[in-house]
Amino acid sequence: MNLRPHHILAGTVGALTLLAASVLTWWVMAERHRKEEAAIAASRETPLGLPGNAANVVVPWDKVIEELHFQESGIAETAISPMQPAHMAPVTPSGAAVDARPTPLWMTHAAPPPSLPADAKRVAIVIDDMGVNVEQSEKMVQTMPPEVTLSFLPYGHGTEKQSREAKEKGHEIMLHLPMEPLPRTGDEHGTIQIDPGPNALFIEQSAAEIVSKTEVNLKDLLPLIVGINNHMGSRFTGNRGAMRPVLELADKLGLFFMDSLTTGKSEVKTAAQGLALPLLERDVFIDHYEDMPHLEQALAHIEARAKTHGKVIAIGHPHPRTIEALQKWIPTLAEKGIYLVPITEMIRLEQAPRDDTDSPHANP
C-alpha cells in the first residue's frame, strides 16, 4: 500500500502528540511526588509540636497521625487530611465547625480493655528501664504476657526496635523519662551526683528547655505510648515548678503521667492542678532488692494489697531474677482471683462512676 505524504505527516503528528502527553503526565506525577517528599522531609526536621496549640510548630503528621488510629477514635468522618493538625477543626457542608478533638493518646494507643467483674482485683505491672540492656529487655518482650506494660528509656540501644515489637505483641508502651535525682551520700569526699542519662530534665533548666528536652525524649516513641513515668527524678519530681511544663505537655498530647514515687516529697499532684491529664502512682517496687526471697516477698505484698485495696500498680525492671520470679508468679494469679491488667485499665477504673457507699473498700 502506498502512503501519501499527508498520511505520513498525520501519523507522525499523532505519535508526537501521544509522546508529549505521556511526558507531561510523567512530569506532573514526578513534581507532585517531589513536593510531597520535600514536605515530609521538612516536617521531620521540625521540633515536635503540640495538638491544641496553633502557635506551636508543626507536628510531623506524616509520621504520627497515621499511627494514631483516628478511625478508632470516632473522628474519621471529619475527613482530617494526613497533613492537617488535629486542632484544626473541619467544617460541615453548612459551614458550621464540628467537634474534632482527638481521643487522648492514652486511649488511642491502649490495649483493648479487659472484660472483668466490677469487683475484680486488678494488678498492673510496669517494667521500666527497658531498651538499655538489650538482651534482658528482649527477654521481657518475649516472655511476659501482653498485659505487662513496658516503659522504655528513650536513649536505649534497643528502644526503637523493641518498643515496636512489644507494641505488636499487645503490650502497652510508656516513655521512661529521665529526670534529675537527689545526690547520694558518698564517702569522705562528699555526695555523689547520679547521671540520669542523655537529655535528662534538671530543675535548673528553664521551662522552655524542659519542654524542648521532653519533646526530644518523646519524639521517637510518641506513635506508640500511652503515658510517661519518671526515671530516677527524686529531685525533679519534688519540684513543683519544674514538673509543671512536663505535665502541661503530657496533657496537651493526651498522655497520662505515672509517678514512680522515687521520693516521699513528690509534688506531681500539686503541679498538675488545673490540668485534665490522668495521674497514676506506683504502689510497690518489685525488685528494690534483686534476690529471690525479697522478690517473692514483694510479690506476696502485691497480692495482699490487691485483696485489700482492689488494685495495685507495681514497678519492676528487666533483671534476670525479676523475669524468673514473674514467670513463676503470674500464672498463679487467676486461681487467686487476681487479674493482671494493662496500665490504662487503672485509669478506666479511676474514672468509672461508682457509689462508694456500697463499696467494700469505702472508708468507714
pLDDT mean over 79-96: 34
Residues 287-300 have pLDDT tens digits of 999 999 999 999 99
Fold of 107-185+194-353: TIM Barrel (3.20.20)
Residues 202-235 have pLDDT tens digits of 999 999 999 999 999 999 999 999 999 999 999 9
Cα→Cα distances 109→8, 176, 222, 231, 292, Å: 66, 16, 10, 21, 34
Task: Return the higher-pLDDT residue of 308 and 75.
Answer: 308
Residue 106 CA to residue 109 CA, distance in Å, equals 6
Instruction: Give the model's pLDDT for residue 101.
Output: 58
The domain ranges of the chain are 107-185+194-353
Residue 228 CA to residue 193 CA, distance in Å, equals 24
How buried is 135 (Cβ within 10 angstroms: 0-12 exposed, 13-18 middle, 19+ buried)?
Answer: exposed
Instruction: Give the model's pLDDT for residue 206.
Output: 98
Banded pLDDT at 102 (limits 50, 70, 90): confident
Residue 88 and residue 79 in contact, taking contact as beta carbons nearer than 8 Å: no
* Rama region for 337: left / alpha / beta (φ>0; ψ in -120 to 50; rest): left
Q: What is the pTM of this model?
A: 0.72
Residues 132-151 have pLDDT tens digits of 999 999 999 999 999 999 99
